[in-house]
Chains A and B, each alone.
Chain A
């Protein structure tokens, strides 16, 4: 309230006044349901995760392999052409050592999260995920990693069907 106005015009009502029915009122509960769709490309991507595979879309014109898949190429502004599977190995592009969990609560042992570019997709294309099997002192940009999948029966068609990415072993692919 400003210095010049000591009292606002009108009739003040508290929440209790409303709930006790001190004044006449209209109550309404709109039935506003919605369905939010992942769309054509991301729906296929999520379904393929359940099969333990990563799928991308190719663009003939710019010869890119788009991952996560999309139905149009933002470079060429034309529909993409075909589905293609990529590998579940890749390279750490960037990472964070987080002392906050997904609910922003402080945690003593940090979680490692970041972006991994995947083999088979165009350069720098990949996904954000957790990193495991390494300490905060071992993780570094350029590290080779591989997806750790949940057992098939536990997969739900979610990015969390992958538990995270672990270091790629010597000679492993």
Chain B
């Protein structure tokens, strides 16, 4: 071995193993708190609104990106949203193979800036942009104030 070769597996040699302790607690912030509490307690999806710019933000932001005003007004997003983009996952976030492919989508609401990235409760073959969807919430007692209080978005049947 010369010093131009690189050792890529530390376990080939005498080595020490360890675990980096990097636990964290991340709070939702002022606007995020409003969003998650409304979702958990009332099953509502809230956007924040800038009255002077006539812009609504989802997830809600505390400040308007256009005029920097502090936002205090909140409104419910429409009951039905549209899928803007989809992706089908075959591996979970650790890289392990999933038993069934999962469908993910970015859901937008008319008149609202932004959207939510979430599961689409449709088979992969039906996953497409433009699909009209609505949130499927977990039962009140199972909701904890996280984005997982929404099970996913399911198609609206007309």
Binding site for B on A (CB under 8 A): 11, 13, 18, 23-40, 42-43, 46-47, 71-72, 79, 157
Pair A34/B27 contact, Cβ less than 8 Å? no
Pair A24/B3 contact, Cβ less than 8 Å? no
Pair A34/B17 contact, Cβ less than 8 Å? yes
Known A36-B10, A39-B7: A11·B16 in contact at CB below 8 Å = no
Of B32-40, B49-57, B99-107, B119-127, the segment with at least 4 beta carbons within 8 Å of chain A is B32-40
Pair A24/B17 contact, Cβ less than 8 Å? no
> In the complex, A31 Cα to B96 Cα: how many Å?
14
- From A13, A18, A27, A36, give the contact of B15 (CB < 8 A): A36
B69 nearest CB across to chain A (Å): 16
B43 nearest CB across to chain A (Å): 15
Interface residue tally for chain B (C-beta within 8 Å): 31
Pair A24/B32 contact, Cβ less than 8 Å? yes
Binding site for A on B (CB under 8 A): 1-3, 7, 10-20, 22-28, 30, 32-33, 36-37, 40, 94, 145-146
Pair B17/A33 contact, Cβ less than 8 Å? yes
Known A40-B1, A40-B7, A79-B3: A35·B23 in contact at CB below 8 Å = no
Q: Chain A residues near B3 (CB, 8 Å)?
A: 71-72, 79
Pair A25/B26 contact, Cβ less than 8 Å? yes
Q: Chain B residues near A11 (CB, 8 Å)?
A: 30
Pair B11/A32 contact, Cβ less than 8 Å? no
Give the one of B14, B20, B94 with max A CB within 10 A: B14
Pair B7/A37 contact, Cβ less than 8 Å? yes
Pair B19/A33 contact, Cβ less than 8 Å? yes
Q: What residue in chain A is nearest B12 (Cβ atoms)?
A: A37
Pair A35/B16 contact, Cβ less than 8 Å? yes
Q: What residue in chain A is nearest B145 (Cβ atoms)?
A: A24
- With A24-B145, A27-B23 known, 8 other A-B pairs at CB within 8 A are A25-B28, A26-B28, A30-B22, A33-B18, A34-B17, A35-B15, A43-B13, A79-B2
Q: Chain A residues near B26 (CB, 8 Å)?
A: 25-28
A93 nearest CB across to chain B (Å): 27
A158 nearest CB across to chain B (Å): 10
